Structure 1
Amino acid sequence: MEIRTLRYFLAVARDENMTRAAESLHVTQPTLSKAIKSLEDELGQKLFTRQSFSIKLTDEGFLLRNRAEDLVSMADKIEQEFLTLDDITGGDLYFGLAESYQISFLAREINSFKQLYPDLRYHITSGDTSQVAEKLDKGILDFVVLAEMPDINKYESLIFPKTDTWGVIMPADVPLAQKEAITVDDLVGLPLFCSGQGWKNDIPRWAKDKMEDLHLEGSFGLVYNASVFAKEHLGYLLSFDKLVDTSPESGMVFRPLTPKLETNLYLVWKKYQTFSPIAERFLKKIQQDFGQKGKEIKPGTISF
């Protein structure tokens, strides 16, 4: 199975039309059709169902698409790394990011790093822990930022300089908004929005035995989308501070949880990872700037 053939397959899956895919790939349609047929023969599965004016992925095609995207991304990353081995002014960095106001620290690091290496190119993927950690494990990403303790058996990490504070984001005109801080009893019986990761890991350690009394109305991957639902009075959003506009003009407010609930943010990379030259330089710089040495983060470690 060749990477070129997988690129052909992904183009057809994207365009759902053999002619358009051939044009985008700058190959003839017979060449493309032959490559797809050869791939199906090699795998022993039909990857597309042919219709009058389009073609659709089969279940087996969907499975291959997911795998092919990772393989092609990895091939591109390897190729780019070797092309930039002798490039002392730049290269490519690949990050997977959680949502946090502390991403500003990372942005500043990248900005100052780019002053040293003006040809630096960086690529950002957003997602929850499982999504970005999977790409890190496969070697598609160099670093990920996680809002939970990383597995110290698999990863090394740095703690970001500050912590994220949990609270409730809600319309300013609801009675609960009059409180200065929110207790777990305040939330019993209310429709709540939260990320799946936060509902599983962070909220239980705050709510303790009252967790079973809380009602998750819906989970969201993107805080902004959840805030729109909260603004329409569909529920109350449990989230970090400083991710949603809660200025007086927004009509929304943030109220911290009490007792206070905080979460550390971690920059994470694989143990024994072989970095590209630019990634290795970036790690050394951020270790120096964060005042840490990239050692394994132990449970209970306090950020400075």
Structure 2
Amino acid sequence: MELRILRYFLAVSQEKNITKAAEKLLVSQPTLSKQLSDFEKELGTKLFVRGHRQITLTSQGAYLRSKAEEIVSLADKTALNIQTNQVISGDLTIGAGESIGMKRIIDLMGNINQDYPDVKIHLISGTADEMETMLNNGSTDFAVFMGERNLNDYNYLQLPETDRWGVIMRKDSSLADKTAISPTDLLEKPLLISSQEISRSRFKNWWGNLGSQMNIIGTFTLVFNAEFLVENGTAYMLSFDNLINRTNQTELTFRPLDPPMIEPITIVWKKNTVLSKVDQLFIKRLQASLHNND
């Protein structure tokens, strides 16, 4: 399975037309068609359904597209990161969820880009499980975990910042007059909870034997969209502090949980791997920023 053929395959899947893809790739249409046919024979399966006006992917083709994008991206990033000793360039890719701790990380990434304009920075958002998978398969250089997690397989640095759990609600909510929210305050309230945290039973100890009485109406992965359900009065949302969208600040407010729930923030990278110069620079600057906090 050659990178060149994967690039051909991706171009056709994007253009949905072999002629247009051939023009984009600067190859002839017959050559591209033969390469794809040979590729299908090599894999022993059909990747495309060839229609009159456009082609579409089979289920096998759709699966290959997702994997091909990862493979080609990793190959391109690796090529960019191979530079001379005098030049720092390439990609710096960090995957993380939403957290106030990301401000330190983003500031560092921005400073590196300013000092070394050939460095391209990439932020990927998702759950900790998604970010760990991407870190392990090489799609990201670093992952930022919020909360306790098994770190035996990684090198890591813990940030001084922490995340505090609480409830995002409308300012005119009946709970907004409270300074902190207890489990009994949430009884019968419609709740939105992170899909990752509900799968990990993160709040099991916090609400104790009241868990079965909680009215969980839905889950979310990222806070931004879920806040609209809070803004229109549909739900209360369990989330970290400092994540209220600035455009919603006039409508929404945050109250911490009581008893409090505080999460550590840790940046991790794979053990026993050769780091690019960009990655080494990032770690060096992160360590310096942590030292300055001492």
TM-score (normalised: structure 2): 0.91
For residue 105 of structure 1, what is the aligned residue in structure 2?
104
Q: CA deviation at 1:92?
A: 2.2
- Cα distance in structure 2, aligned partners of 1:210 and 1:187: 10
Q: CA deviation at 1:116?
A: 4.5
- Helix, strand or coil for the counterpart of 2:203? helix
- Does the CA-based 8 Å contact 2:8-2:25 persist in structure 1? yes
How large is the Cα RMSD of the aligned pairs?
2.2
Give the gaps of 5 or more residues in structure 2: none
- Does the CA-based 8 Å contact 1:191-1:217 persist in structure 2? yes
Greater CA drift, 282-291 or 54-63: 282-291
- Does the CA-based 8 Å contact 2:12-2:21 persist in structure 1? yes
Q: CA deviation at 1:76?
A: 0.8
Residue 37 of structure 1 aligns to which amino acid in structure 2? S
Q: Is residue 95 of structure 1 aligned with residue 94 of structure 2?
A: yes
After the TM superposition, which residues 22-33 of structure 1 pair with which residues of structure 2 at under 5 Å, given as runs? 22-33=22-33
Residue 168 of structure 1 aligns to which amino acid in structure 2? V
Give the gaps of 5 or more residues in structure 1: 293-302
- Cα distance in structure 1, aligned partners of 2:223 and 2:64: 31
Identity of aligned residues (%): 38
Task: Please list the CA deviations of residues 154-203 of structure 1 after superposition, one character each: whole Å capped at 9, or x if unmatched.
Answer: 11211111111111111122212222211111212222112212223432
In the superposition, relative to structure 1, how do residues 139 and 87 fare at CA in structure 2: closer, same or farther (>3 Å)? farther
- Cα distance in structure 1, aligned partners of 2:98 and 2:186: 24
Residue 229 of structure 2 aligns to which amino acid in structure 1? F
After the TM superposition, which residues 142-221 of structure 1 pair with which residues of structure 2 at under 5 Å, given as runs? 142-201=141-200, 202-221=202-221
For residue 267 of structure 2, what is the aligned residue in structure 1?
267
For residue 51 of structure 1, what is the aligned residue in structure 2?
51
- Does the CA-based 8 Å contact 2:194-2:220 persist in structure 1? yes
Q: Is residue 235 of structure 1 aligned with residue 235 of structure 2?
A: yes
- Does the CA-based 8 Å contact 2:100-2:161 persist in structure 1? no
Greater CA drift, 72-81 or 201-210: 201-210
Q: Is residue 291 of structure 1 aligned with residue 286 of structure 2?
A: no
Task: Please list the CA deviations of residues 84-114 of structure 1 after superposition, one character each: whole Å capped at 9, or x if unmatched.
Answer: 2434343321111211122111122223434
- Helix, strand or coil for the counterpart of 1:180? coil
- Cα distance in structure 2, aligned partners of 1:282 and 1:163: 21
Q: CA deviation at 1:239?
A: 0.6
- Does the CA-based 8 Å contact 1:187-1:214 persist in structure 2? yes
- Does the CA-based 8 Å contact 2:231-2:248 persist in structure 1? no
In the superposition, relative to structure 1, how do residues 90 and 81 fare at CA in structure 2: closer, same or farther (>3 Å)? closer
Residue 122 of structure 2 aligns to which amino acid in structure 1? H
How many residues were matched structurally? 293
- Helix, strand or coil for the counterpart of 1:144? strand
In the superposition, relative to structure 1, how do residues 250 and 22 fare at CA in structure 2: closer, same or farther (>3 Å)? farther
- Cα distance in structure 2, aligned partners of 1:140 and 1:76: 11
Greater CA drift, 199-208 or 34-43: 199-208
Residue 110 of structure 2 aligns to which amino acid in structure 1? N
- Helix, strand or coil for the counterpart of 2:175? helix
TM-score (normalised: structure 1): 0.89
- Helix, strand or coil for the counterpart of 1:291? helix
For residue 77 of structure 1, what is the aligned residue in structure 2?
77
Task: Please list the CA deviations of residues 29-77 of structure 1 after superposition, one character each: whole Å capped at 9, or x if unmatched.
Answer: 2222122111110000011112221211111112211211111111111
- Cα distance in structure 1, aligned partners of 2:39 and 2:209: 54
For residue 18 of structure 2, what is the aligned residue in structure 1?
18
